[in-house]
Amino acid sequence: MAFEGLAERLQGTMNKITGKGKINEADVKEMMREVRFALIEADVNLKVVKQFVKTVSERSVGQDVMKSLTPGQQVVKIVKDELTNLMGGEQNPIQFARKSPTVIMMVGLQGAGKTTTTGKLATVLRKKHNKKPLLVAADVYRPAAIQQLETLGKQITVPVFSMGTDQSPVEIAKQAMEEAEREHNDVVIIDTAGRLHVDEALMQELKDIRELTNPDEVFLVVDAMTGQDAVNVAKSFDDTIGITGVILTKLDGDTRGGAALSIRTVTEKPIKFVGMGEKMDALEPFHPERMASRILGMGDVMSLIEKAQENVDEDKAKELEQKLRTQSFTLDDFLDQMQQVKKMGPLDEILKMMPGANKIKGLDNAKVDESQMGRVEAVIYSMTLAERENPEIINASRKKRIAAGSGTSTQEVNRLLKQFEEMKKMVKQMTNMQQKGKKKGKMPGFDAFFK
């Protein structure tokens, strides 16, 4: 049920269009429909989508898309460029006050991850900016919210200012400022209670804290999984309190995170950090381009293509393609392939860049064992040329010899041969499918190589 990315979606439309020779405005319109679907499925707000599609479609109709040989890819590129632009090209660092302390306020809905992010932010400030932060526990409503911050403070050895749950958050903030003065903390991070943007009393309380502490940064903490409502939330918080930036949390999940675009468009405030995990140092600067790829479900294809271009020998690739078609693919070619892939860099990184890789369950945690590749190489090197051309001739005694020669076991030799056989089958299926013009299936057994 994982959602199709934009590229896959466009593929369908493209298949209809190819063969026409030229594409017209109606085709572009059709493609824009797919763009719209893809963005909605990524949880980008509908109004934002509309505006966005309009911009993209103007660019597409006018430009080279219609003349291009690969209009689908052109559209994807335009969409991605526009997305990246919209999300703010440059990275946006924290604004520090000229006169210490710098005050940072954390606001947001319940369960967005304010307290956890407060701890992470303190870690970043201490490690990367050499600051001495003070955390302020101003969430007096949720049970044990103060304990949560205190525990985090202990974990990262950062002091936490708290006054229990009987004081008003405004009073706590006030006293915390004095405490920071006394203890010479140069950053004060105020963790406020989660609240609904429609709760007027609680929003007023945030306003009061803001007025009192005059913060340099007010961060709206938003769950990356938020749906269409993200715009309402962001707009309300921005209108009532005035935010200076956004922190997107839980981005280590598999959500597309279209909320990022919605919020950015509505508030025009920069996204400054993203939460990428449960550990205290899992807070990273925001990269608009990566976010754009993610929203489109593309994987980091651009860098993958760049890497491939750098490393893959074009003639060899053509030769290989021919072999695949005629099914004269041998273990030698297999070895060749492996070496080419290896040149591109660590395998698990490459896998992550692959579009659709996020759909393969467990790939996040998959550790590709590079030494395993070395063993496979050794096994193939221990074969005679005849054996490599024609693996069918490998009988029990040959297997024993190969195992001894490569320092592996016959089981390993068996496994490689079986996998190679499976791969050939798969390639056969794929080429058959392509000839029939059917949609390309998944690649079964591909990951079996890396287990």
Residues that bind other proteins (CB under 8 A): 1-3, 37, 40-43, 45-46, 109-113, 115-116, 119, 141-152, 155, 196-198, 223, 225-230, 232-233, 250, 252-256, 258-259, 278, 361-362, 364-365
Q: Which residue lies nearer to other proteins by CB, 32 or 177? A: 32
332 is in an annotated binding site: no
Widest CA span in the chain: 84
DSSP characters over 40-88: HHTT--HHHHHHHHHHHHHHHHHSGGGTSS-HHHHHHHHHHHHHHHHT-
> CB within 8 A of 287, min separation 6: which ones?
91
194 is in an annotated binding site: yes
Nearest approach, Cβ of 36 to other proteins (angstroms)? 10
Nearest approach, Cβ of 75 to other proteins (angstroms)? 19
Q: Which residue lies nearer to other proteins by CB, 271 or 383? A: 271
191 is in an annotated binding site: yes
Q: Which residue lies nearer to other proteins by CB, 155 or 432? A: 155
Q: Which residue lies nearer to other proteins by CB, 43 or 205? A: 43
d(CA 5, CA 299): 9
Q: Which residue lies nearer to other proteins by CB, 144 or 305? A: 144
d(CA 193, CA 224): 19
114 is in an annotated binding site: yes
113 is in an annotated binding site: yes
Q: Could you tell me whether strands 283-285 and 271-275 are parallel, antiparallel, or unpaired per DSSP bridges?
A: antiparallel
Nearest approach, Cβ of 9 to other proteins (angstroms)? 11
Lookup: tokens for 389: 């051309």
Nearest approach, Cβ of 254 to other proteins (angstroms)? 4
Nearest approach, Cβ of 221 to other proteins (angstroms)? 10
Nearest approach, Cβ of 170 to other proteins (angstroms)? 20
Residue 379: which H helix or E strand, with range?
helix 370-381
Q: Which residue lies nearer to other proteins by CB, 225 or 423? A: 225
116 is in an annotated binding site: no
Using only C-alpha atoms, the chain has a radius of gyration, in whole angstroms, of 28
Q: Which residue lies nearer to other proteins by CB, 255 or 267? A: 255
259 is in an annotated binding site: no
19 is in an annotated binding site: no
Asked if 292 and 80 count as a contact pair (C-beta separation under 8 A), the reply is yes
Lookup: tokens for 213: 């502490």
Examine residue 101 and say whether the peptide bond preceding it is cis (omega within 30 degrees of 0).
yes
> CB within 8 A of 350, min separation 6: which ones?
304, 307, 341, 344
251 is in an annotated binding site: yes
Asked if 35 and 8 count as a contact pair (C-beta separation under 8 A), the reply is no
Nearest approach, Cβ of 224 to other proteins (angstroms)? 8
If you search the block for the tokens 């101003």, which residue do you land on? 138
What are the distances in angstroms from CA 154 to CA 119, 123, 382? 10, 12, 57
Lookup: tokens for 70: 């690969």
Q: Which residue lies nearer to other proteins by CB, 144 or 317? A: 144
Asked if 35 and 53 count as a contact pair (C-beta separation under 8 A), the reply is yes
Q: Which residue lies nearer to other proteins by CB, 256 or 272? A: 256
5 is in an annotated binding site: no
Nearest approach, Cβ of 72 to other proteins (angstroms)? 20
If you search the block for the tokens 């099914």, which residue do you land on? 327
Nearest approach, Cβ of 321 to other proteins (angstroms)? 34
CA-wise closest residue to 231 among 50, 54, 88, 76:
50
Identity of the residue numbered 393: I
249 is in an annotated binding site: yes
99 is in an annotated binding site: no
DSSP characters over 386-434: HHHH-GGG--HHHHHHHHHHHTS-HHHHHHHHHHHHHHHHHHHHHHHHH
Give the residue numbers of the binding site for GTP: 108-115, 191-195, 249-252
Give the residue numbers of the binding site: 108-115, 191-195, 249-252
